[in-house]
């Protein structure tokens, strides 16, 4: 799923098309304020549910221009599901407890999938204008649901292994100079962390004990 997202982003950049934000400003602010993974998952599920409700309302009334709204909301929904999966993978890579959040995701995604299947069965004259993103939304939800239903221990092992491989690949692409600069920066940070705090001015000599 991550690879597909990256390829779509690169394609948009290559065509000179800026990628539309999939969250509103208010939603993005809410996400930034919440660092705990389980709470973030709850927020993403709320936003995903809202997008499907907007699609449902739009599908209920046939009017000109509605296909753009349906398309955009389905596209946003899919990217929310992808973001949600990234939250889970990141938490597992850091060995954080997201069991409660993942269980909630699986429960909600079953309902999301049922809703999307209803959309898929609904005939519409303008369906061809949003059919591709509807298919993407269905596949993304199915993939995410399968992941959420898997054994968390096995998923954790896979995520950690993928993270290790990604880091190794990045390091293999780094030049000798890049590696040296990274090493120096790391040593500086380590030295800074070890340095004891002091209230003495730079030009003030340490006081001698009697």
pLDDT at 90: 95
Single pTM value for the model:
0.73
What DSSP assignment string belongs to 58-81? HHTS--TTHHHHHHHHHHHHHHHH
pLDDT(82) > 80: yes
Backbone angles phi, psi at 165, to 5 degrees: -65, -40
Higher-confidence residue: 183 or 144? 144
Q: Which of 43-51's residues contact partners 24+ apart within 8 Å by CB, and which partners?
A: 44/80, 44/81, 44/83, 44/84, 44/87, 45/84, 45/104, 45/105, 45/108, 47/23, 47/80, 48/77, 48/80, 48/81, 48/84, 48/108, 48/112, 49/108, 49/112, 51/76, 51/77, 51/80
Higher-confidence residue: 24 or 163? 24
Alpha-carbon gap, residue 178 to 4, rounded angstroms:
29
pLDDT at 15: 42
Query: For residues 51 and 70, is the Cβ–Cβ distance under 8 A?
Result: no
pLDDT at 53: 98
Higher-confidence residue: 18 or 27? 27
Q: Which of 121-125, 149-153, 201-205 has the lowest mean pLDDT?
A: 201-205
Question: Span 61-84, mean pLDDT?
Answer: 96
**pLDDT-based confidence at residue 205 (cuts at 50, 70, 90):** low
Domain borders along the chain are: 2-9+24-167
- Over its C-alpha atoms, the chain yields an Rg (Å, rounded) of 24
pLDDT(22) > 80: yes
Backbone angles phi, psi at 149, to 5 degrees: -90, -10
pLDDT(198) > 80: no
pLDDT in tens, 25-35: 999 999 999 99
pLDDT(150) > 60: yes
Alpha-carbon gap, residue 21 to 75, rounded angstroms:
10
pLDDT in tens, 88-147: 999 999 999 999 999 999 999 999 999 999 999 999 999 999 999 999 999 999 999 999
204: left (phi over 0), alpha (psi -120 to 50) or beta: beta
Alpha-carbon gap, residue 49 to 109, rounded angstroms:
9
Count of alpha carbons within 13 Å of 167, Cβ hemisphere only? 7
């Amino acid at each position: 799923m991550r690879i597909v997202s990256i390829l779509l982003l690169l394609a948009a950049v290559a065509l000179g098309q800026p990628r539309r934000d999939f969250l509103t400003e208010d939603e993005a602010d809410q996400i930034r304020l919440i660092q705990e993974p389980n709470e973030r998952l709850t927020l993403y599920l709320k936003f995903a549910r809202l997008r499907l409700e907007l699609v449902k309302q739009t599908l209920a009334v046939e009017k000109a221009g509605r296909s753009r709204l349906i398309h955009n909301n389905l596209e946003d929904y899919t990217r929310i599901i992808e973001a949600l999966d990234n939250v889970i993978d990141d938490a597992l890579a850091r060995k954080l407890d997201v069991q409660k959040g993942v269980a909630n995701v699986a429960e909600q995604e079953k309902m999301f999938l049922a809703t999307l299947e209803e959309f898929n069965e609904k005939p519409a004259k303008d369906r061809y204008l949003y059919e591709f993103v509807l298919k993407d939304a269905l596949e993304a939800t199915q993939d995410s649901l399968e992941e959420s239903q898997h054994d968390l221990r096995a998923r954790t092992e896979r995520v950690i292994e993928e993270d290790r491989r990604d880091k190794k690949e990045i390091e293999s692409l780094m030049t000798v100079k890049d590696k040296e600069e990274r090493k120096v920066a790391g040593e500086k940070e380590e030295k800074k962390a070890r340095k004891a705090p002091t209230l003495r001015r730079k030009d003030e000599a340490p006081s001698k004990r009697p």
